[in-house]
Amino acid sequence: MVRKRSGRREAFNPDKLLDKLRIAANKRPILEKQMREFAYGFEDDLQAPEIASDEIGKRVLQFLRELDDVAYIRFLSVYRDFDSVDRFIEEIKQLDDEQVAEANAFARPLRTEAKDLTAEDDVEPRGN
Give residue 35's pLDDT.
96
For residues 71 and 89, state if they share a domain: no
Give residue 15's pLDDT.
95
Q: Which of residues 4 and 102 earns the better pLDDT score?
A: 4
Range of the domain at 7: 1-81
> What value, to the nearest 5°, has the Cα angle with vertex 19 and ends 42 and 40?
20
CA dist 123 and 109 (Å) reads 21
pLDDT digits (tens, 9 = 90+) for 88-115: 888 788 877 776 676 667 666 555 554 5
Dihedrals φ, ψ of 88, to 5°?
-65, -45
For residues 71 and 105, state if they share a domain: no
Query: What pTM value is reported for the model?
Result: 0.69
pLDDT digits (tens, 9 = 90+) for 50-79: 899 999 999 999 999 999 989 998 998 887
In this predicted structure, the answer to whether residue 20 has a pLDDT above a threshold of 90 is yes
The total number of structural domains in the chain stands at 2
For residues 73 and 106, state if they share a domain: no
